[in-house]
């Protein structure tokens, strides 16, 4: 069965994952991380994609973004790749692809999953054992949300602003969410939805997306469809 086109819904948050080919490193030092973020900032502005949260890991990356149209997200990721991959290959004397296929993305129901997904992304270095505290990791958006330093790449989502009336209130509330952590089930649901490309949200949200996009937004049931029930009063012809 042919793979469905990636579902992109304008002005709705999307969780994006891009992995290195064969789990190889895509960032090796601070210069790599910095130049990728610079190009990501340029591309986000060029293609009108709001970046709400991110983390750059040694062999993959996560983004939480809201595109303004159906094509901007794909164009942004393609533009960054066209700049970063030649840079990386030239610097490290390699050739060929850097990414493991196309990027994965899922549409997020804001009210139910936006903040959880943001925390999921920024706590990734802790789950990977790279740091013990999210504030220790330099290549994520946590420092912005925690009030350590503003990040010009980011556009704050209304749900982040709703955490408090002042910057201090918002920062404290967000840090408390991070300290509480996510339940193992939440981590699994967020990760699997993005890898499989299906929307993350309630049944009502998925039904709304299906109507809005005129396409299937949940996995098809496996196996053959059930045979129609035969009227007991009939017989098959020989």
Distance between CA 21 and CA 135 in Å, rounded?
28
In a domain, 110, yes or no: yes
Q: Which helix (H) or strand (E) holds 52?
A: strand 49-56
Number of domains in the chain: 1
89-93, 123-127, 165-169, 212-216, range with the lowest pLDDT: 212-216
In the chain, helix, strand, coil percent, each to 5? 45, 15, 40
The order of strands in the sheet holding 60-67 is: 49-56, 60-67, 14-19, 104-107
| CATH number of 75's domain | 3.30.70.1290
Distance between CA 104 and CA 113 in Å, rounded?
17
In a domain, 55, yes or no: yes
Query: CA-CA distances (angstroms) from residue 140 to 76, 81, 133, 226?
Result: 19, 19, 12, 49
Reported as a single tens digit per residue, the pLDDT across 85-142 is 999 999 999 999 999 989 999 999 999 999 999 999 999 999 999 999 999 999 999 9
In a domain, 197, yes or no: yes
Reported as a single tens digit per residue, the pLDDT across 25-42 is 999 999 999 999 999 999
Q: Angle at CA 75, nearest 5°, toward 69 and 79?
A: 150
In a domain, 49, yes or no: yes
Query: CA-CA distances (angstroms) from residue 21 to 85, 104, 174?
Result: 12, 14, 33
For residue 3, is pLDDT > 60? Answer: no
H helical segments located in 197-233:
203-213
In a domain, 31, yes or no: yes
In a domain, 8, yes or no: no
In a domain, 64, yes or no: yes
For residue 2, is pLDDT > 90? Answer: no
Note the pTM of the prediction, 2 decimals: 0.88
Which domain does 169 fall in, by range?
14-213
In a domain, 185, yes or no: yes
For residue 237, is pLDDT > 70? Answer: no
Q: How far is CA 235 from the centre of its chain?
A: 55
Q: What is the pLDDT of residue 178?
A: 96
């Amino acid at each position: 069965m042919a793979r469905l086109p990636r579902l992109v819904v304008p002005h709705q948050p999307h969780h994006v994952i891009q992995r290195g080919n064969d789990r190889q490193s895509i960032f090796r030092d601070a210069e790599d991380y910095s130049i990728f973020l610079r190009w990501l900032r340029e591309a986000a502005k060029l293609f009108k994609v709001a970046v709400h949260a991110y983390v750059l890991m040694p062999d993959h990356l996560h983004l939480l973004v809201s595109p303004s149209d159906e094509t901007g997200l794909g164009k942004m990721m393609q533009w960054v790749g066209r700049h970063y991959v030649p840079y990386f290959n030239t610097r490290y004397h390699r050739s060929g692809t850097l990414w493991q296929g196309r990027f994965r993305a899922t549409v997020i129901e804001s009210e139910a999953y936006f903040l959880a997904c943001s925390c999921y992304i920024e706590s990734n270095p802790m789950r990977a054992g790279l740091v013990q505290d999210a504030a220790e990791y330099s290549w994520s958006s946590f420092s912005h949300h925690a009030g350590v330093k503003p990040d010009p790449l980011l556009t704050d989502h209304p749900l982040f602003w709703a955490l408090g009336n002042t910057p201090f209130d918002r920062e404290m509330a967000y840090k408390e969410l991070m300290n509480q952590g996510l339940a193992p089930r939440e981590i699994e649901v967020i990760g699997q939805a993005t890898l499989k490309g299906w929307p993350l949200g309630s049944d009502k949200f998925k039904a709304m997306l299906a109507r809005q996009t005129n396409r299937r937004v949940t996995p098809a049931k496996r196996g053959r469809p059930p045979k129609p029930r035969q009227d007991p009063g009939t017989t098959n012809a020989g």
